[in-house]
Chains A and B, each alone.
Chain A
Amino acid sequence: MYVYDEHDRQIAAERVAQFRDQTERALVGELSEEEFLPLRLQNGLYVQRLAPMLRICIPYGMLRSEQLRRLARVTRDYDKGYAHFTTRTNIQLNWPNLEDVPDILAELAEVEMHANQTSGNCIRNTTTDPFSGVQVDEIADPRPYCEIIRQWSTFHPEFAFLPRKFKIAVNASEHTDRAAIRVHDIGLQLVRNDQGEPGFRVHVGGGLGRTPMVGPVIRDFLPELDLLTYLEAIVRVYNRYGRRDNKFKARIKILVKALSPEGFAEKVEAEWAHIKDSPSRLTPEVVSKFQGYFTEPAYDALDNATDLLATQRFENREFDKWLTHNVNSHKKPGYAIVTLTLKKTGTPPGDVTDFQLEQIADLADEYSYGEARATHEQNVVLADVRQDRLFELWQKLVPLGFATANLNTLNDVICCPGGDFCALANAKSIPVAEAIQRRFDDLDFLYDLGPIDLNISGCMNACGHHHVGNIGVLGVDKKGEEFYQISLGGSSHHDATIGKILGPSFAREEMPEVIAKLINVYVENRTEEETFLDTYRRVGLDPFKERVYA
Chain B
Amino acid sequence: MPDVIAADGTIRNDDWVVVPRPAAGESMDIPEDKPVLIPADLWLAGHEHFAAKPSVGVWFDSHDEPELLGEKVNELPLIAVNFPRFVDGRGYSIGRLLRERFGYRGELRAIGDVLLDQLQFMKRCGFDSYVLRADKDIAKAPKCLSFFTQTYQAATDTDQPLFRRRAS
Contacts and interface: CB of A to CB of B under 8 A. Distances in A.
B110 to A, nearest CB: 12
A30 interface: yes
A198 interface: no
Interface in B113-153: 115, 117-118, 120-122, 124-125, 137, 143, 147-153
B30 interface: no
Given A240-B93, A244-B88, A279-B160, A158 B152 contact: no
B159 interface: yes
B52 interface: no
Nearest to B92: A158
Interface string B145-168: 001111111110001111110110
A535 to B, nearest CB: 46
Interface string B88-113: 11101100100001000000000000
A30 B137 CA distance: 9
Number of chain B interface residues as a range = 35 or more
A161 B149 contact: no
Q: In terms of DSSP, what is the predominant structure of the interface of chain A?
A: helix
Contacts of B45: none
A10 B122 CA distance: 21
A151 B163 contact: yes
A236 interface: yes
Nearest to B155: A157
B167 A286 contact: yes
Interface in B40-99: 86-90, 92-93, 96
Contacts of B87: 38, 121, 161
A236 B155 CA distance: 12
A14 B148 contact: yes
A152 B147 contact: no
B62 to A, nearest CB: 9
Contacts of B154: 278-280
A35 B86 contact: yes
Contacts of B155: 156-158
Contacts of A163: 89
Given A155-B148, A158-B89, A7 B162 contact: yes
Interface string A227-247: 010000000100110001000
Given A157-B120, A286-B167, A152 B153 contact: yes
29 contacts: A14-B147, A14-B149, A14-B150, A15-B148, A18-B148, A21-B147, A30-B137, A38-B87, A151-B163, A152-B152, A153-B153, A154-B153, A156-B152, A156-B155, A157-B92, A157-B120, A157-B122, A157-B153, A159-B89, A161-B87, A161-B88, A239-B90, A239-B92, A240-B90, A244-B88, A274-B101, A278-B159, A286-B163, A286-B164
The 4 closest A-B pairs by CB, nearest first: A161-B89, A157-B124, A157-B121, A18-B147
Interface of B: 86-90, 92-93, 96, 101, 115, 117-118, 120-122, 124-125, 137, 143, 147-155, 159-164, 166-167
